[in-house]
Amino acid sequence: MSFSMQNFYDSFKSALLYAPVTIKLTAITFIVSLIFGAVIATIRNYRIPVLSQFFAFFVTVYLGLPTMVALLIYNLLFMTLYADVANAFHISVPISDVNPIIIGYFTLIIGTTCSISESIRGAFRGIEKVQYEAGYSIGMGRFKTLTRIIFPQMIPILLPGMQNSLIGLLKASNLVSAISVVEIMTGALLPSLLYYSYLEGYVAAALVYWIIGAAIEILAHFAEKRCGKYLKIATES
């Protein structure tokens, strides 16, 4: 099997053209999931009645569902519901004009939220109870104790896990190609359809993913190094 550098170059340029789609999908999903995951983990940590039990059950069950299966299920449900709603309210916009990336966001956010919530819940356990008591003793309420004492100490503990979650999300983002979203992988293979040679497209996509992943690791390394000083001071105190 021959490897054409020209084909690889064309595939690499095409992959870079659609890289913003993947980066945007990954970044927005991660930020939203981090917020929702923190809320779920906090609810479970404080064992709020009903909500704590519900999220414990939901997260446990949902983590066993493969992302691809969830994506296809949500896509079929969306198309079915959209057709029913369009007929009921006489909506003239065809489903082909609806951007399928919305389903990709929905699927990835739910799965990533469940995963991140477990990481944050584990970080909660890494904080000693004396830290909570210190906040309460100086008149801080539960919310201020969380935001000013607990969460800042959790950041250094969470960083390695969040880095892995972000890179895993980056790699999982190519699954949205199954519902016709053009991202790095699909973009890299577009020139291959002309040459009927797909090796160059796959290698080009892998290189672009590696570059983005390496950038994430470098940023995470500096963040860990900076937060490590805070963790050391907090532990000593």
pLDDT 10s digits, 118-155? 999 988 888 888 888 888 888 888 888 888 888 888 88
Handedness of CA 147, 148, 151, 152 (dihedral sign): positive
Quote the number of domains for the chain.
1
pLDDT tens profile 169-220: 999 999 999 998 999 999 999 998 887 888 999 999 999 999 999 999 999 8
pLDDT of residue 231: 56
Answer whether residue 8 is part of any domain: no
Domain assignment present for 211: yes
On whether residue 1 sits in a domain, the answer given is no
The gap from C-alpha 22 to its chain's centroid, in whole angstroms, comes to 11
Task: Decide: helix, strand or coil at residue 213.
Answer: helix
Asked if the structure places residue 89 within a domain, the reply is yes
How far from each other are the two terminal CA atoms of the chain, in whole angstroms?
62
Quick: pLDDT tens for 19-59: 999 999 999 999 999 999 999 999 999 899 999 999 999 99
Q: Is residue 14 part of a domain?
A: no
- What was the pLDDT predicted at 105? 96
Q: Which CATH number characterizes residue 51's domain?
A: 1.10.3720.10
Residue 24 is predicted with a pLDDT of 96
Total Cβ atoms within 10 A of residue 138: 9
Per-residue tokens: 180: 């016709």
Q: Which domain holds residue 205?
A: 20-184+198-236
Task: Examine residue 59 and state whether it is found in any structural domain, yes or no.
Answer: yes
The answer to whether residue 107 is domain-embedded is: yes
> Domain for residue 74, yes or no?
yes
